[in-house]
Amino acid sequence: MRYIRPQSMEDAVGLLAGAAGPAAILAGGSDLLVRMKGGFVEPELIVDIKAIAGLSDITETADGFRIGAAVPCAVLGENAALKKAWPGVVEAAKLIGSKQVQGRCTIVGNLCNASPAADSVPALVAAGAKAVVAGPGGKRTIAVESVPTGPGKTSLAKGEIIEAILLDKRPPHAGDAYQRFIPRTEMDIAVVSAGVNLTVGDNGVVKAARVAVGAAAPTVLLVEEAAQVLIGSKLDEATLERLAKICSGACRPIDDKRGTIEFRRKVAGVLAKRVAAIAYERAGGK
């Protein structure tokens, strides 16, 4: 097994594109190393991206935020501007594992591990985040929801690396929120989860919304119909009930060791209601 820590994106892409056997990108390693230890993957080449210039920075641009692929989740929580603009994304990233895990793990790793239960992904999808992908054929920017295609699978081609996540600049009166259901208080994997991102007009009426549900289908669900219900409302009781019903209905969950189909359906709706209310309040709606 070869471990290489390239200094530039070109070298990293070149190494991956030229690899003959199985190769893996190493960010925080909190998924990759666990999978290697369990014998599920045996890469011949490991490309550590943490030494690549610029990948460990969060930069605030005219368009919003650019979060480098090697930024650990703990650092997201220490960035006051990001926290203020995207509290839901940050709270999702800060739910991953524990303090120790957050010191290593990245939201890009979370996205590319392609677990349906990944915590930061519903929040990123609700936020309308984009991924900058570098590869042998150059760079492209894609919506985050197009990265995972099924459990453990992504749309990335051989040699492609996600360089950064982009989050839009916030309009006034916007807020997002994320919650997951776990039986314990921490160190657990979401049984089901929901993220909501809202923009509210001066009159308290929702102008724009995105609703995402996690761990309820092979990939995170962007529930358009749920967003439509919220838009034009002031999140009254009846709206929230409809939201819950639509989210429950959108789920295509399975029965497994973490929960039942019925449980996931029901709780997806409950969480959607709860996070919508939090996002609304964060957006300044009352």
Partner 1 sequence: MNFDPRYSGRSFTSVGTRPIRPDGVDKVTGRARYGADFNMAGQLVGRILRSPHAHAIIRKIDTSKAEKLAGVKAVITAKDLPDLTDGDAAMYDILDNSMARTKALYDGHAVAAVAAIDARTARQALKLIEVDYEVLPHVTDVDEAMKHSAPLINDAIFTEGLEEKPVKPSNVTKRTQYGHGDVHQGFGEADFVVERSFKTEQTHQGYIEPHACVASVNPDGTADLWVCTQGHFVYRQHCAQLLGLEASKLRVTSSEIGGGFGGKTHVWAEPVALALSRKAGRPVKLVMTRDEVFRASGPTSATSIDVKIGAKKDGTITAAEATLRYSCGPYAGMWAEIGAMTAFACYKLENVKTVGYEVLVNRPKTAAYRAPSAPMAAFAVESAVDELAKEIGIDPVDFRIKNAAQEGTRASYGPVYGPIGIGPTLEAVKNHPHMKAPLGTNQGRGMACGFWFNFGGQTCTDLNIGMDGSVSLAVGTVDVGGSRASLSLVAAEELGIDYAHVKAIVADTSSLGYNDMTDGSRGTFSSSMATISAARNAIKILRERAAQMWDISVDDVAWEKGHAVAKGEKHGNLGKLSLKEIAAESGKTGGPIAGHSELVADGAGVSFATHICDIEVDPETGSTRVLRYTVVQDAGKAVHPTYVEGQYQGGAAQGIGWALNEEYIYGKDGRLQNPGFLDYRIPVCSDLPMIDTQILEIPNPNHPYGVRGVGETSIVPPLAAIANAVSNAVGVRMSHIPMSPPRILAALEAERERFSR
Nearest distance, CB of residue 185 and partner 1, angstroms: 4
Draw the binding track, 228-257, toward partner 1 (x: CB under 8 A; -: no contact). ----------------------------xx
Q: Which does 263 bind (CB under 5 to 8 A by kind): ligand FAD, partner 1, none?
A: partner 1
Which distant-in-sequence residues (6+ apart) come within 8 Å of 38 by Cβ?
none
- Three-state DSSP at 281 gives helix
State the Cα–Cα distance between residues 254 and 261, nearest whole angstrom.
5
237-250 helix and 261-282 helix, angle to the nearest 10 degrees: 140
* Side-chain half-sphere exposure of 195, counting CA atoms within 13 A: 33
Examine residue 101 and tell whether it contacts partner 1 (CB under 8 A): no
Helical ranges in 32-71 per DSSP H: 32-37
For ligand FAD, give the closer residue by CB, 30 or 179: 30
Which residue do the tokens 């009254």 mark?
A: 236
Distance CA 108, CA 238 (A): 37
Q: Which residues pair with 84 in a beta bridge?
A: none
Whose CB is nearest to ligand FAD? 109
Residue 28 touching ligand FAD (CB under 6 A): yes
263 binds partner 1 per the rule CB under 8 A: yes
Give the 3-state secondary structure of residue 117.
coil
Q: Which is nearer to partner 1, 12 or 226 (CB)?
A: 226
Picked from partner 1, ligand FAD, none, the partner binding residue 47 (CB below 5 to 8 A depending on kind) is none
230 binds, among ligand FAD, partner 1, none (CB under 5 to 8 A by kind): none
Does position 213 interact with ligand FAD (CB under 6 A)? The reply is no
**Phi-psi category of 214—alpha, beta or left, where left has phi over 0 and alpha has psi -120 to 50?**
beta
Cα-trace Rg, the chain? 19
User: Residue 258's binding partner, choosing from ligand FAD, partner 1, none, with beta-carbon cut-off 5 to 8 A by kind?
Assistant: partner 1
What are the beta bridge partners of residue 4? Answer: 47
Q: Which of residues 93-112 bind ligand FAD (CB under 6 A)?
A: 95-97, 101, 104-106, 108-110, 112
Q: How far is CA 266 from the centre of its chain?
A: 22
Considering the complex, state which of residue 24 and residue 161 has its C-beta at the smaller distance from partner 1.
24
- Binding stretches for ligand FAD (CB under 6 A): 24-32, 34, 49, 69, 95-97, 101, 104-106, 108-110, 112-113, 118-119, 156, 161-162, 187, 189
- Binding stretches for partner 1 (CB under 8 A): 38-39, 181, 183-189, 191, 256-260, 262-263, 266-267, 270
